[in-house]
Amino acid sequence: MNERIALVRKSLGLTQEKFAEQVGLSRNFMWMIESGTRVPSDRTISDICREFNVNETWLRTGEGEMFNQITRSEKITSFLTEITEDEGDDFKRRFVEMLAELEPEDWKLLERMAEKLQKKEGNP
């Protein structure tokens, strides 16, 4: 399992320190897990899976896909949760607020514009 944990971390482009921080471990303990000198607890395994959307069966056994597949609805929900948790005035939040106020005819216009852009990108 230590090799799979290292693979998850590397595939996410995280240092041992950043990875450990996100699951509440020290960098040194993370190094010990990856080197095989320590075995992660069930809680640590659960934390890794939750924090990084890792398939627990894969992490424990190597069977299946590394990451859990998420649906489009789950992606949208996650994105909106992230935006609503931050009360700042960043572009993402302002953009979603603007979208929420669109009328049906505005949506039709946006759809036509997106279709034109898609056709234009397909034909350079």
Q: Per the structure block, which two tokens stand in for 8? A: 């998850």
pLDDT in tens, 2-39: 999 999 999 999 999 999 999 999 999 999 999 999 99
Distance between CA atoms of residues 27 and 18, nearest Å: 8
Q: What is the pLDDT of residue 75?
A: 86
| Listed residue (70, 71, 67) closest to 58, CA to CA | 67
Q: How confident is the model at residue 121 (pLDDT cuts 50, 70, 90)?
A: confident
- The DSSP string of 33-95 is HHHTSS---HHHHHHHHHHHTB-HHHHHHS-S-SB----HHHHHHHHHHHHHH--S--HHHHH
What is the architecture of the domain spanning 2-61? Orthogonal Bundle (1.10)
Q: What is the pLDDT of residue 124?
A: 53
pLDDT at residue 89 tops 90: no
CB atoms within 10 A of CB 97: 11
Q: What is the pLDDT of residue 74?
A: 86
Q: What is the mean pLDDT of the chain?
A: 92
pLDDT in tens, 64-81: 999 998 889 988 998 888
Q: In this structure, what DSSP letter does residue 15 have?
A: -
Q: What is the pTM of this model?
A: 0.61
Q: What is the pLDDT of residue 113?
A: 94
Name residue 115's amino acid: E
Name residue 20's amino acid: A
All structural domains of the chain with their residue ranges? 2-61, 72-122
pLDDT in tens, 36-67: 999 999 999 999 999 999 999 999 999 999 99
Q: What is the pLDDT of residue 123?
A: 62
